[in-house]
Amino acid sequence: MGKYKRKSERQSWSEVSMANAVQEVLEGRMGYLKASMEFGVPRSTLEGRVSKVRKGLLSRKNAAKKGLGRYKAVFTEKQEEEMVEHILAMENRLFGFTLKDLRKMAFDLAVRNKLTHQFNMEKKAAGKTWLYQFLKRHPKLSLRTPEPTSIARAIGFNRSAVQKFFALLSEIYKNYDITPDNIYNVDETGIMTVPKKRSKCLALRGKKQVGCLSSGERGVLVTAETCMSAAGVFMPPMFVFPRERAKPEFLDNAPPGSTAAYHSSGWMQTEIFLNWFKKFISFSNPSKENLFFFCWMVTQPIRKV
């Protein structure tokens, strides 16, 4: 990369002068005009920096930093701090973010909050330049190789952990008066179209080897998302079929109200689960006055809420 040559006289003031001017105005010792003349900084720039500090959009530490060129920060300092807290919270729950996850989360946040950005619309992800600058601004984040941890170990499946869970559960029931019809459990299960387990059959006593015909097919995986309340009310299941195109006859003889989703793997995907969750909201009809308890274990982080 060649050496950069400055072509503009804009922002020729020093960061020290701007910091002093901002401090004097914030502490009420000077007005904008006097501080501008005293420290040799533009009045309009000073007013903008002080306004952002007062609104909490900019810290005093960064109020004097320069920003020449077309580049403008996509997120405010507060928004970036919230992103960092979310990343660390997910890592503590053993759902660490990869660099790719971070770039996609940044894109999603920018789009959903209608922020001006230059992220890659085709890849739906922030660029590597933004990523490296973000990591530079937040040195508390570091890229590490995680150790594989089993689900049982992760959730601490032991007597004390189980007792603590049910103690918290009882407290929730007591504090919020949640009735059985508003307590839901949801789980997904994989179903193979060709069974692997052999059923026992009758044969001549003493015969050493008993054979049976078996299908030569490997079978395909279909995932079923099932949900029911403690009162015994079932929500119609959703099936994830291992194909790209919809085929209505796949739901022939399925439980009434069943829905279908399609993915090449046959596994539940984030977008599919979010669609299912929207159906669950319509089914359960929750509100501030009608709270419900939702028990579900995830094996991958969900960025969208």
**pLDDT number for residue 289:** 64
Structural domains in the chain plus CATH codes? 15-64 (1.10.10), 77-137 (no CATH), 178-194+218-304 (no CATH)
Q: At 194, which amino acid appears?
A: V
Per the CB < 8 A criterion, the answer to whether 240 and 249 are in contact is no
Q: What is the pLDDT along the chain (305 residues), one digit of tens a residue?
A: 334 454 555 566 788 888 899 999 999 999 999 999 998 999 998 999 999 888 887 788 778 777 644 557 889 888 999 999 988 887 776 677 888 889 999 999 999 988 888 898 899 999 999 999 899 888 888 877 665 655 555 556 667 767 877 888 888 888 888 888 888 888 888 887 665 555 555 444 564 554 554 544 556 788 999 999 888 999 999 999 988 888 888 899 899 999 999 988 888 888 888 899 999 988 988 877 666 666 555 545 555 54
**pLDDT number for residue 4:** 42
Which among 5, 3, 45 is positioned nearest to 21, based on CA atoms? 45
**pLDDT number for residue 202:** 47
Per the CB < 8 A criterion, the answer to whether 120 and 127 are in contact is yes
